[in-house]
Structure 1
Amino acid sequence: MNNINKAIELLLGKLENWGEHIILMLPNMAVAIILIIITFVVARFVRNGLDKVIGRISHSAAINNLISTILYIALLAVGFFFVLSVLQLDKVVISLLAGVGIIGLALGFAFQDIAANFISGIIIAVQKPFGVGDMIETNDYFGVIERVSLRTLDVRQPSGELVKLPNKMVFENPVTNYSNGGTRRIDLDVGVSYAEDLERVQQVAIEALQDVKNRVKTRDIEVMYDSFGDSSINFKVRFWVNYSRQIDFVSAKSDAIIRIKKAFDANDIMIPFPIRTLDFAIKGGEKLSEHLEQLQQGKDGRKVSEE
């Protein structure tokens, strides 16, 4: 019975001490509550103001939202630590800071690839080497950009597949942006017979491509002879087209091939087929025709002797 009474007295003493501490801490708690309210109000006000300012400088919604969110969280964290200090919980503040450092270090090692993609996404958003709707080629993938996020780049290939490329891969490897200049050059390989007048062929090809689809008429059409082939003299036809989609390039190239073929047919210009001469070496480089001739003579000689 005495033990029970002692336990009750100890409990009541603890509660009394806690009550006294709570009463003494009431002014600090009131100040802490006011600080929390002020922190949330100030953080929200700063975030809204920052959104308007950043929106005038940067047009990337992802990067704007990231900056404003980081600042908002930082202001809340500062206010929270002030509240702990007012409540005389300095040791808790130190412990929290140490814990945050350790946790941050552990997460950095565990999610370093995610962090690398995230940082690469921020740099891409700031530099803006490409945008949604651009036709690009990178990491052996070719297509139209559908979405640029802080972690991945979404590329829709001409055949319909959607490829999500990590920003780290895009940032660390070459990227060809075909939509950057708004124009693109088409190179066609053509061959004509050795019997043709090359200057006439050049003129016919240039005239044939004057009205090709999407052609940039401020740039000249170039016809440059390239090499002597096995059965033709080869040349390159080069001209520029307006480019916003891949269909602009493909349709212009197809139209150019049709126009050159029709123009050559109308002017009796021959595009020769490849010619191959097959030489069967029978004995030490002996030609097949000579060998057959010898065989034929041998047969004729046997026929005469038999008669």
Structure 2
Amino acid sequence: MDISRVFQDFRSKLNEEVMSKLESWLDTLISMLPEMVVALFVLLLFFGIGKLVRKAVHKLLSRATMNKTVIDLLETVAGIMIVGLGIFIALGVLNLDGAVTSLLAGAGIVGLALGFAFQDIASNFISGIILTIRHPFGIGDIIETKDIYGTVRKLNLRNTILETPQGQIVYIPNKIVFENPLTNYTSEGQRRIDLACGISYGDDLQKARSLAIEAIEELEGYNSDRDILFFYEEFGGSSINFKVCFWVNFRTNPDFLDMRSEAIMAINDKFNEHDIMIPFPIRTLDFGIRGGEKLDAMLRGRGKEREPNGETG
């Protein structure tokens, strides 16, 4: 057997098959050339639409929030969605429906798995976006949520970061902020001070009321556009208790704390000046097993129980 001849025959057949396959591919390429041109045009078109959509989303979100991180993220997501839609349409034009179906099925499975694995992260992420768009508070606002009170220092896509009046930094997941009641103390620029106090039962109630209101009116910094409220609340154990309420302009905690301190000193000085007593708490001590017995009587009773030699009987 001539080995060289066998090798030549094999190479000839291989060349024929390769050339046949290349010719087949070339014919397919030529036949699909119009679809490829259309698919390429679709991709370029959707890339252009994606840029326009990103600009529109950026402009729209810039009016709703100043959080650049959220704006950039949503802008990118919108652009990717438009380009992804263009890719699916281009594959459909090329009659690659099977590839499109496989991609969609794979994306659905991956999305479902990631949804279960990162449920909390996704929840905080979406809550952060909603908080940013709704804008119930801004950087520097003083808020309270879930019994946590402080100044907003930062809002990212996972946490709302507060600084407490004591200087601690607290990271609150956005989901908690979104799902729980939230109080924004600075949104209106004003805050009411409710000051509780009491006077003795022997003092003139009308006079005490007038003096308390007068003391607040003499303060510099209270909001004179709103009425000062005064209410007697209860008959206490050693005093008749009242509450005086007034408004102050509020942007930072010292605006509230300083005015409350000044009001306490002003009312105390005004009452002292006009001989109005803020009584100390009074406690009555009962001695003896049954109560209602004075200390000296109890001691005398115990003395009678002792024996002459000093021992108890």
Answer yes or no: is the 8 Å Cα contact 1:213–1:251 preserved in 2. no
**TM-score calculated relative to the size of structure 1:** 0.83
SS of 2:248's partner is strand
Q: Does 1:239 align with 2:246?
A: yes
Picking from 137, 141, 163, the partner of 2:144 is 137
1:295/1:83 CA distance change after superposition, 3 Å: closer
Q: 1:107 to 1:296 in 2, by over 3 A?
A: closer
Note the C-alpha offset of 1:34: 4.8
Aligned to 2:17: 13
Distance change (3 Å), C-alpha of 1:121 and 1:10: same
Residue 163 (structure 1) aligned with residue 198 (structure 2): no
Q: Tell me the equivalent position of 1:186.
A: 193
**What is the SS of the residue equivalent to 1:252?**
helix
Structure 1, 60-69 or 91-100: larger mean CA deviation: 60-69
For the 8 Å contact 1:191–1:232, the answer to whether it is kept is yes
C-alpha separation in 1, matches of 2:198 and 2:48? 76
1:82-121 pair list within 5 angstroms:
82-121=89-128
C-alpha separation between the residues in 2 aligned to 1:298 and 1:204? 57
What SS does the aligned partner of 2:259 have?
A: helix
Shift of 1:282: 5.0
TM-score (norm 2): 0.82
Count how many residue pairs are aligned between Structure 1 and Structure 2: 301
Q: Per-residue deviation at 1:80?
A: 1.7
Partner Cα distance (2:133, 2:87) in 1: 31
CA distance in 1, matches of 2:94, 2:171: 49
Asked whether the 8 Å contact 2:222–2:246 carries over to 1, the reply is yes
| Letter of the structure 2 residue corresponding to residue 193 of structure 1 | S
Which residue matches 1:248?
Answer: 255
Q: Deviations over 1:219-263 (max 9, x none)?
A: 222232222222222211211111111211111100101111211
2:51 maps to which residue?
44
Structure 1 unpaired stretches of 5+: 303-307
Alpha-carbon distance in 1 for matches of 2:15, 2:220: 93
Query: Deviations for 1:155-201, whole angstroms, at most 9, x for unmatched residues?
Result: 22112222222221112111111122221111112122222222222
Q: Distance in 2 between matches of 1:56 and 1:125?
A: 11
| 1:24 Cα deviation from its structure 2 partner | 3.9
Match of 1:25 in 2: 29
| Counterpart secondary structure, 1:209 | helix
Asked if 1:262 is matched to 2:269, the reply is: yes
Moved more, 60-69 or 219-228: 60-69
Residue identity over aligned pairs, in percent, reads 43
Distance, in Å, in 1 between the alignment partners of 2:134 and 2:9 is 75
1:12 & 1:75 partners in 2: Cα distance? 45
- Residue by residue, what CA displacement relative to the aligned partner does 1:56-111 show, whole Å, maximum 9, x if unpaired? 75235455444432321122112222333444433222211111111112112222
Change (3 A) 1:224 1:83: closer
Say which SS state the counterpart of residue 158 (structure 1) adopts: coil
Aligned match for 2:65, one of 44, 59, 72? 59
- The Cα of 1:129 is off from its aligned counterpart by 2.2
**Shift of residue 150, structure 1, vs aligned partner:** 3.5
| Counterpart Cα distance in 2 of 1:145 and 1:88 | 54
Aligned residue number for residue 305 of structure 1:
none
The two structures, once aligned, show a CA RMSD in angstroms of 3.1
Q: Please, which of 226, 233, 240 is the counterpart of residue 219 of structure 1?
A: 226
Of the structure 1 ranges 285-294 and 163-172, higher mean CA displacement relative to structure 2 is found in 285-294
Cross-structure match for 1:153: 160
When residues 101 and 254 of structure 1 are mapped into structure 2, their CA distance, relative to the original with a 3 A threshold, is same
Alpha-carbon displacement from aligned partner over 1:90-144 (angstroms, at most 9, x marks no partner): 3222211111111112112222222222232333233332222221111121111
Query: Conserved in 1, the CA contact under 8 Å of 2:142 and 2:150?
Result: yes
Gapped regions of structure 2 (runs ≥ 5): 309-313
